Structures are given as structure tokens and as C-alpha cells.
């Protein structure tokens, strides 16, 4: 549990560094004269293109090298560049810094989830992944709270300096972690495998398992829809009448409360249903999104003075994190043992490049287009359109559950071929 707590803390720092730019959306857009498209590029493609492409390499490296050292190097890089963000004076400068931050942050999650996958049994993997992804709501909430409190007193630039310094101080502690993989997966011989072999095994696992492919697609659709959140600070101020500091503190509290509840619910609920049937986590995802996503849409159209606004905002925040544990646990279970970190990196690549980046860019472009056309409430309309794929994820997870049941039966009949990932038994 100590390992889980420390890696979760590092993920908190990871998300706080990443989302501080969103917490200061109003200030940074005004000071650097950013359009909605430029701002969403900084939070989307500029950051995630490097984050995801380098992340695939980091995932392959995490299957081969000393993972705590790899993570320590990444933390040092992204923390130093987070501090440098405070000195940016233009869109171009900020864009270059965001690219390099993506390189550093890409080293953390594939290696961390690999370590946790070995430290926790299969029946507790969604719990472990869900706890690790508590870093998302805690880090995002902390970023908004820092912006609403400390940022109001000292400005946005010093806040980046402070957060970067905190990350640098964590590096020595990461280096103290033990690498448990001595002799694992064939020992040194496994780590000498060429990287292209790891990538070939990832492609092979995807080709063999329709359930794995559909789970990845469902995850991408969910994260694309969550791209609508990127303009929430501007939306709360410009279209819902909140003061800037009030909007920052409200978003921070909701991410902390709803996001933490979602991560815990996703981890425990996914594991509970998984213990009762081989497709439990996938069915959990379909059910929870069917129940919760309508409230996220209601939040977009409800009046802030109505009784529905704050409960729907809470449920919408819960929906952001509820899927992390079950989705990553499914991928960990279905991936071959020797490429779990690489497969995790591939999932992150798909979810961020085709999910976060595309969703962020879509909502920014639509909001600018609606504003240019003098459409009322342009951000509201753009967000509702971008959120629509969230509903398409539900049949993806249902189909993935069906394919998983079929693949489990086929494995029982024909046996698992050598090197193939073990599918889930009825009770784990």
C-alpha cells in the first residue's frame, strides 16, 4: 500500500502540473492574447502529440529498464519545465514548453501501472488503478484550488514556479523505490528484446482480442467527450455568470469531491462485478455511463440558480474518473505479461491523441465558429456536441463484454496459444 500511496501522490503532481494551465484559462488567455483554438491546442495537440508518441516509447522502455529511475528522470524534466511555463511570453514559447512537458510526463503512468500490476493480484487491479487515478481528481482539484487561492494573491506565473519546485523535491524519493523485476519474465534476456518485438506483440494482442480492441475504442470515445471540459472556466465565467475566482474554487471542489468519488466507485465497483463474471468490468462501465452521462448533459443546460445545477455538476465530475480503473484493469488483464507497460502506453496514446487532443480541438473550434456566427451560448452548444460520443461508448463496452465471453469460451475449448494473454476466468 505504501507503493500505491507514493505513486498516487506522483500522479497527483502530474495532473496538477498538467491542468494548472486550464485553471488559469482566463488569466493566461488574456495575458497572452490566446484565441479559443490556440488555448485548446496548448491543452490538446501541442501537449498530447509528444506525450502520447513518446509515451509509447516510454512504455516499451518500462518493460525493459529500471522503472523508478525512468520515472525519476521524467519527474525532473516535467517539473523543471512546469517552472519554465511561468516565464512564457507568447503562444509559441508556451507551445514549445508544453511539448517538452509531454515528454517528461509520458514516463510516469506506463511504468507506475506496470509496478502496481505486479504488486496487486488480478482481482484487485481495478482498485489499484482506480486509486492511482485518484491523482486525476486530486491533482486537477488542487490545480484549480491553487489558482483560486494562491493565484489570486501572487498571480499565475509564480504558481508555476512553486509547483515545478515541488516536483523537483520528489525526485530523490522516487529513486529510493525498488525495482522488483529481477529475474521476472526471463530476467535480463527479456529486457534485451528489441523494441520492435514489443510493438509486434502489442499488435498481435490487439489482433487476437476483439474485446481488447473494443475496450480501447470505448476509452477513446469517453476521453474525447471529456474534451468538452477544457473550456469550463471560460464557460462558467462568460456564459454562467460566475466570478473568475468563484469559478476556479467551484471547479476545484467539484473535481475533488466528484472525481475522488468516481475513482473509488470505478475501482471498487468494477472489481466487485468482475469477481462475479468474466466481463464484469466492461458491464460496469456500460451501466455506470448509461446512468450518469445524462446528468452531465443536464449540467450543460441547467440554470446555475436551479436545484439541478450543482448535483449534475457533481455527477459530471464523477463521470470523468469513474472509468479509469476498470478500463486500465481490463487492458492489464488482456495484455501479454511481457508487454503490459507497452500496452498501457498504447492505450494512453489512443486516449490522449484521438481522445483528449481531438476533443479539446473540436470544442475550441466549434466555440470559435459559433461565436463568429453570433450563436447564443457558443461554448454550451460546442460542449454538448463534443460530449455526444460519450453515449457511443456504452455499446462499445457492451460489445466488448460479449466478445470477451466468446473469447473465454474459445480459450477453454482450444487452450491458450503460447504467449497469448490469459483471458479472465469466471471468478478471479
- Asked whether residue 111 is domain-assigned, the answer is yes
3-state secondary structure of 133: coil
- Asked whether residue 275 is domain-assigned, the answer is yes
Residue 183 is predicted with a pLDDT of 47
Q: Report the half-sphere exposure of 51 (CA within 13 A, side-chain side).
A: 29
Question: Would the pLDDT of 427 be above 70?
Answer: no
Residue 417 is predicted with a pLDDT of 46
Tens digits of residue pLDDT in 78-105: 899 899 999 988 889 988 888 888 777 7
- Asked whether residue 428 is domain-assigned, the answer is no
Predicted confidence band at 377 (pLDDT cuts at 50, 70, 90)?
A: very high
> Following CA atoms 114, 133, 273, 342 in sequence, which dihedral angle do they give, to the nearest 10 degrees?
-30
Question: Would the pLDDT of 420 be above 80?
Answer: no
With cell 465558429, the residue in question is: 369
- Asked whether residue 185 is domain-assigned, the answer is no
Span 107-127, average pLDDT: 78
**Model pTM score:** 0.72
CA angle 267, 268, 270 (to 5 degrees): 70
Residue 7: C-alpha distances to residues 105, 247, 292, 326 (Å): 13, 30, 29, 18
Residue 182 is predicted with a pLDDT of 57
The set of cell numbers assigned to 227 is 474534451
Span 337-363, average pLDDT: 81
Tens digits of residue pLDDT in 292-306: 999 999 999 999 999
More confident residue, 412 or 399: 399
- Asked whether residue 422 is domain-assigned, the answer is no
As a whole-number percent, the residues of the chain with pLDDT over 70 amount to: 90
Predicted confidence band at 363 (pLDDT cuts at 50, 70, 90)?
A: very high
Question: Would the pLDDT of 119 be above 60?
Answer: yes
User: Residue ranges of the alpha helices (H) in 88-231?
Assistant: 91-105, 108-119, 125-132, 135-148, 150-154, 156-175, 188-191, 195-208, 210-226
More confident residue, 388 or 351: 388
Burial 233-256 (b: 16+ CB within 10 A, else e): bbbbbbbbebebeebbbbbbbbbb
Residue 185 is predicted with a pLDDT of 45
**Closest to 325 in 3D by CA, of 135, 177, 139, 49:** 135
In this structure, the number of other CB atoms found within 10 A of the CB of residue 405 comes to 18
Question: Would the pLDDT of 188 be above 50?
Answer: no
The set of cell numbers assigned to 314 is 457533481
Q: With beta carbons less than 8 A apart as the criterion, state whether 42 and 34 touch.
A: yes
- Asked whether residue 212 is domain-assigned, the answer is yes
Predicted confidence band at 411 (pLDDT cuts at 50, 70, 90)?
A: low
Provide the domain limits for residue 332. 2-176+195-414
Tens digits of residue pLDDT in 5-59: 899 999 898 888 888 888 888 888 889 888 878 888 887 777 777 777 777 777 7
- Asked whether residue 27 is domain-assigned, the answer is yes
Predicted confidence band at 425 (pLDDT cuts at 50, 70, 90)?
A: very low
Burial 293-319 (b: 16+ CB within 10 A, else e): bebbbbbbebeeeeeebeebbbbbbbb
- Asked whether residue 333 is domain-assigned, the answer is yes
Say how many domains are in the chain.
1
Question: Would the pLDDT of 370 be above 90?
Answer: yes
Residue 121 is predicted with a pLDDT of 75
Predicted confidence band at 144 (pLDDT cuts at 50, 70, 90)?
A: confident
Q: With beta carbons less than 8 A apart as the criterion, state whether 63 and 114 touch.
A: yes
More confident residue, 181 or 41: 41
Tens digits of residue pLDDT in 206-227: 888 888 899 999 999 999 998 8
Span 372-380, average pLDDT: 93
Question: Would the pLDDT of 395 be above 90?
Answer: yes
Least confident of 61-65, 82-86, 392-396: 61-65
**Closest to 141 in 3D by CA, of 239, 254, 33, 236:** 254
3-state secondary structure of 338: helix
In this structure, the number of other CB atoms found within 10 A of the CB of residue 408 comes to 18
3-state secondary structure of 229: helix
**Closest to 380 in 3D by CA, of 394, 370, 390:** 370
Q: Report the half-sphere exposure of 32 (CA within 13 A, side-chain side).
A: 26
Residue 183: C-alpha distances to residues 103, 188, 336 (Å): 29, 7, 17
The set of cell numbers assigned to 317 is 465530475
Q: What is the CATH number of the domain that holds 276?
A: 1.20.1250.20
Predicted confidence band at 419 (pLDDT cuts at 50, 70, 90)?
A: low
Amino acid at each position: 500500500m505504501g507503493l500505491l500511496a507514493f505513486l498516487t501522490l506522483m500522479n497527483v503532481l502530474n495532473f496538477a502540473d498538467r491542468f494548472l494551465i486550464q485553471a488559469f484559462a482566463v488569466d493566461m488567455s488574456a495575458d497572452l492574447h490566446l484565441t479559443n483554438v490556440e488555448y485548446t491546442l496548448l491543452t490538446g495537440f501541442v501537449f498530447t502529440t509528444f506525450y502520447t508518441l513518446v509515451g509509447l516509447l516510454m512504455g516499451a522502455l518500462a518493460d525493459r529498464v529500471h522503472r523508478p529511475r525512468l520515472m525519476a528522470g521524467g519527474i525532473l524534466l516535467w517539473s523543471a519545465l512546469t517552472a519554465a511555463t511561468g516565464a512564457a511570453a507568447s503562444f509559441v514559447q508556451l507551445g514549445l514548453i508544453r511539448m517538452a512537458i509531454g515528454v517528461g510526463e509520458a514516463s510516469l503512468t506506463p511504468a507506475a501501472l506496470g509496478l502496481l500490476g505486479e504488486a496487486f493480484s488480478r482481482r484487485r487491479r481495478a482498485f489499484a488503478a482506480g486509486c492511482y487515478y485518484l491523482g486525476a481528481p486530486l491533482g486537477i482539484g488542487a490545480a484549480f484550488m491553487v489558482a483560486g487561492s494562491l493565484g489570486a494573491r501572487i498571480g499565475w506565473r509564480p504558481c508555476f514556479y512553486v509547483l515545478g519546485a515541488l516536483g523537483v523535491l520528489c525526485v530523490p524519493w522516487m529513486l529510493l523505490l525498488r525495482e522488483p523485476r529481477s529475474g521476472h519474465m526471463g530476467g535480463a534476456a527479456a529486457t534485451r528484446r528489441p523494441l520492435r518485438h514489443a510493438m509486434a506483440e502489442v499488435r498481435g494482442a490487439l489482433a487476437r482480442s476483439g474485446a481488447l480492441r473494443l475496450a480501447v475504442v470505448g476509452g477513446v470515445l469517453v476521453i474525447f467527450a471529456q474534451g468538452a471540459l477544457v473550456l469550463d472556466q471560460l464557460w462558467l465565467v462568460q456564459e454562467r455568470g460566475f466570478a473568475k475566482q468563484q469559478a476556479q474554487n467551484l471547479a476545484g471542489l467539484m473535481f475533488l469531491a466528484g472525481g475522488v468519488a468516481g475513482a473509488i466507485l470505478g475501482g471498487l465497483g468494477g472489481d466487485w462485478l468482475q469477481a462475479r463474471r468474466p466481463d464484469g468490468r466492461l458491464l460496469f462501465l456500460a451501466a455506470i455511463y448509461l446512468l450518469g452521462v445524462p446528468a452531465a448533459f443536464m449540467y450543460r443546460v441547467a440554470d446555475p440558480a436551479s436545484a439541478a445545477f450543482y448535483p449534475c455538476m457533481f455527477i459530471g465530475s464523477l463521470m470523468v474518473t469513474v472509468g479509469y480503473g476498470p478500463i486500465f484493469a481490463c487492458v492489464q488483464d488482456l495484455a501479454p505479461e511481457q508487454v503490459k507497460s507497452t500496452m498501457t502506453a498504447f492505450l494512453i496514446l489512443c486516449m490522449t491523441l484521438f481522445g483528449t487532443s481531438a476533443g479539446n480541438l473540436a470544442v475550441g473550434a466549434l466555440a470559435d465558429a459559433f461565436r463568429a456566427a453570433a450563436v447564443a451560448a457558443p461554448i454550451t452548444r460546442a460542449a454538448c456536441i463534443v460530449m455526444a460520443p460519450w453515449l457511443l461508448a456504452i455499446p462499445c463496452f457492451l460489445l466488448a463484454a460479449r466478445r470477451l465471453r466468446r473469447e473465454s469460451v474459445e480459450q477453454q475449448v482450444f487452450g491458450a496459444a503460447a504467449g497469448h494473454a490469459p483471458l479472465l476466468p469466471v471468478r478471479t
